[in-house]
Amino acid sequence: MTSSPQPVDVEVGRRIFALRRRRGLSRRVLAEAAGVTFQQIQKYEAGVNRVSSSRLAAIAACLGISTSALFGESADPRQRDDEAAKLLEAFNTIDDPEQRRSLLLVVRTMARSIRRGV
C-alpha cells in the first residue's frame, strides 16, 4: 500500500526547494551538507520522502535559516507581528482606493509565488 505525501511534507519540501534556489545552491551541494544523495534532496523537495529531524537541521544550517523557517515560521514571531503591524499602518495611510487594491494585489501575488517556490 502506497501512502500519499502529507501536506506538511510537501510544504517543507517546497520551502527547501525555494530557499535552495534563492541561494543559488545545487541539489548536490545541499545533499553533501545533509549527508544524502542529490536524488534524496529531489524526493524531499517533492514531498515524496519525509525529512528526518537531523537532516532537517543540516539542511536548515546549509541554507542559513532556522529549522522553524522550513515550516513557514519566523524565527521570532514577535518580529513578524511587528512587521505586519507596520505594513498595516502604512497601508492605512494610502487614501486612494485604487492604489490600495493594487498594493493588495502585489502582496497576494508575492505570497502565491513564495508558496509555489517561484
pLDDT digits (tens, 9 = 90+) for 69-114: 898 876 555 666 677 888 899 999 999 999 999 999 998 888 887 7
Q: pTM above 0.75?
A: no
Given a contact cutoff of 8 angstroms between Cβ atoms, the answer to whether 62 and 56 are in contact is no
C-alpha cell at 80: 513578524
Has residue 104 been placed in a domain?
yes
Residue 116: per-residue pLDDT: 67
d(CA 88, CA 77): 17
Residue 101 lies in domain: 77-116
- The mean pLDDT value for 30-35 works out to 96
pLDDT band at 56 (very low <50, low <70, confident <90, very high): very high
Has residue 1 been placed in a domain?
no
Has residue 2 been placed in a domain?
no
Residue 21 sits in the same domain as residue 58:
yes
Has residue 30 been placed in a domain?
yes
Residue 25 sits in the same domain as residue 42:
yes
